[in-house]
Amino acid sequence: MAPKKLQVGAAGLGRMGKRHAINFLNRAPRSQLVAAFSPDPEEIQWAKQHLEPYGVTLYTKYEDMIQHPGLQAVVIGTATSVHAEEAIKAMEKNLHVLCEKPLSINLDICNEVVAAAKQRPHLKVMCGFSRRFDDSYRAAYRKVENGLIGRPSVLRSQTCDKHDPSGFYVEYASWSGGVFVDMAVHDIDLTLWFFGSDVVPKSISAYGITAVTPDLKKYNDYDNAVGIVEFHNGKIAYYYCSRMMAHGQEDVTEIIGTEGKLSVNLNPQSDLVNYYHAGGITREVPPHYWGRFEQAFVKETNEFVDSCLDDTPLPMKLSNAVKAVQIGAWLQESLVSGKQLRFDETGKRIEAAKI
């Protein structure tokens, strides 16, 4: 008797959607990609070459795909604006859901997804924060759990993309939610992991510049931004986002404790080769996030499948995905308004006194 496989449908076949589809098709032994959806004719043409020959049925309507016979789960890699709607529709069809981050840039809509999932506790619903599946981050987390650096007190984390002069990020900024919601949400999620998901912000400040892409200003966004979140339990998180790196992707995290420090990817490199030459010593770095986190996405895929088939707990809470977006939205508000936001110990906003 053949081992049971999770029957999966892939929603969205853009850059990230393609990668999810290939992972479920070729890199998750306990899953079977049986369906894929995209409204884009070019993406369907790609799927006819890379998915259809392997038994994947293609759809141009999401509602048709989630009715595919025997379907058990969907992976959602479509535009952020439809993540929540598609996740809820999948749950209504009794399907497990792995959704790309964020669930939405709207907090109320994020909470609708969480509420829908709570109504169906037998379903596995996960928002994919890939860094939680990265071997290096997991090794760092185990060291924190084992007390190697004492009490973690300061987290400095950055998401820095290679500069793209094509204008893509300007168009993208019109709907991405801003640099903190789009980029720093990964660093915020790491904060909730290393500091604990119950941390409550005390103050939030953010600052930004448009150093290389002035057109971002029309969407109230920036190509470089720094944010600081002070928590009520005496911890601080510092975030740096950039879209102007000349050399490649540079995602770095430091966790500083009372008895030591941990760093992840502080000296980024794509492999273990150093080139020694007359000009010095050089090494290559990944040009984009996939070069850094490809294996983390593979692990994410397989752990989601295992959780669905074995009915084991997911490795992260869905509510954390909402909290990460909320903190990101507050950072974005501070960035645009130029004002510090303050909160009481219950997490309620403290409005500035009016004279």
Listed in order, strand segments (DSSP E) in the chain are 6-11, 31-37, 57-59, 73-76, 96-100, 125-128, 152-162, 201-209, 224-231, 236-245, 252-257, 260-264, 275-277, 280-282, 341-343, 349-350
Q: What does the pLDDT look like over 206-233, one tens digit per residue?
A: 999 999 999 999 999 999 999 999 999 9
**167 compared with 30, residue with greater pLDDT:** 30
Closest CA to 268 of 255, 253, 250: 250
What is the β-pairing status of strands 252-257 and 224-231? unpaired
pLDDT at 280 over 90: yes
pTM for the predicted model, two decimal places: 0.94
Chain mean pLDDT for the chain: 95
pLDDT at 173 over 90: no
Structural domains of the chain sorted by starting position, each given as residue range(s) with its CATH number in brackets: 6-127 (3.40.50.720), 134-294+323-350 (3.30.360.10)
1 confidence band (pLDDT: 50, 70, 90): low
278 confidence band (pLDDT: 50, 70, 90): very high
Beta carbons within 10 angstroms of residue 107's beta carbon: 14
Handedness of CA 140, 143, 144, 145 (dihedral sign): positive
pLDDT at 341 over 60: yes
Region of poorest pLDDT, from 1-15, 126-140, 238-252? 1-15
176 confidence band (pLDDT: 50, 70, 90): confident
pLDDT at 352 over 70: no
pLDDT at 2 over 70: no
Q: What does the pLDDT look like over 34-84, one tens digit per residue?
A: 999 999 999 999 999 999 999 999 999 999 999 999 999 999 999 888 999
Query: What percent of the chain has a predicted confidence (pLDDT) above 70?
Result: 98
